[in-house]
Amino acid sequence: MSPESPAGALTGIRVVEMGQLIAGPFCGQLLGDLGADVVKVEAPGAGDPMRLWGQANADGASLTWPVIARNKRSLTLNLRVESGQEIARRLLDQADILIENFRPGTLERWNLSPESLWETNPGLIIVRVTGFGQTGPYAPRAGYGSIGEAMGGLRYLTGEPDRPPSRAGISIGDSLAGTYAALGALAALNSRQTTGRGQIVDSAIYEAVLAMMEASLTEWDAIRYQRERTGAVLPKIAPSNVYPTADGSSILIAANQDTVFRRLAEVMGQPELATDERYATHHARGERQQELDGLIARWSARYDATELLELLHEGGVPAGRVYRAEDMFADEHFIARNAIVRAHNSQGDEFAMQNVAPRLSDTPGGVRWSGPELGEHTDEVLTDLGYDAAAIERLRNDAIV
């Protein structure tokens, strides 16, 4: 995408991002994807640690940074000194949303408490992303996404039943907290249309994870049922598993709904399975999950993966390969929907990355540029705030920016 990409639904919304790492910045990424002007505030000389994390290219540059910092402008600013705090207040006076993911009380120590910011900008929405939220006995604790995943219940259910809890291969707890933070920010923007006032959006990582735990709390409270690790399947949900093929591949087939199972039975050439009392209902199939998986696996193993998928798709049975990144680049559907885009930074470097989600028909937003250089937009932002070239130079010499 280029700076001429279609406008997003949040065009005209100004966001100041003071967070670092993933949880807060992912919220900023989502808002920027949808068109918001996101100014990322970073410490002079150091910047967000994400600039150095993850895999690197041949030049040693992080390949995570171009994605999570896309569509953002970088302003270097020392928030630990009064001069830097004054610039921050001027910037926030013109903003719609502030995102921060420091420990509770950090903004207050920097003389940037919500109450003081609302004195001059009552409509400012303040998004605060932390491990445990702004209140409660755990609020002061340091909290990473992995801890939120553990305490929110996700880690306990992830992995094989005969092994210790595992984790997803991505920072899902941080990303969930950032997603809920963005959802809260949009809800607060809508509320502001009526009240004229901003509010605090308190997104805790452990609560964002907890929100995804389906009925696990209800099941325990009502019948003392504790979900356990079940590896590749969900108990009593059958058939829904990965099945072998003749060419050594694996295909995921999901046919646990009664109507879909009838279609699978037809595709298998065994329509009688759909009326067999052992498999005819969702409950019956769940009780014979392993037995049914074995039956389907013996059938699927007769076909190469491509042939098997053609049969399943023609029969209206949900199925698909388990993709790696390289498979996504080659998939015709990904290509047709432009699911993967290429973005450039100011140095001309090109990076492939996932496109914006969700898609809006009239104001889809887009990836306008990849992660900026440290302080790349400092002069631009300060000039917009009314600082002249001499003032900016003094601030730079004093290590304020």
Rounded CA separation 358/49 (Å): 28
Q: CA 209, CA 219: separation in Å to the nearest integer?
A: 17
Q: Which residues are catalytic?
A: 174
Which residues, 6 or more positions from 1, have their beta carbon under 8 angstroms from its beta carbon? 341, 343, 366, 367, 368, 369
State the DSSP H helix or E strand holding residue 164, giving kind and residue range, or none if neither.
Answer: none
Mark 332-364 as b/e (b = at least 16 C-beta within 10 Å): eebeeeebebebbbeeeeebebebbeeeeeeeb
Tell how strand 125-130 and strand 97-100 pair up: parallel
The 3-state DSSP class for residue 133 equals coil
Alpha helix positions (H), 268-315? 282-287, 289-300, 305-314
* Lookup result for tokens 């995804």: 212
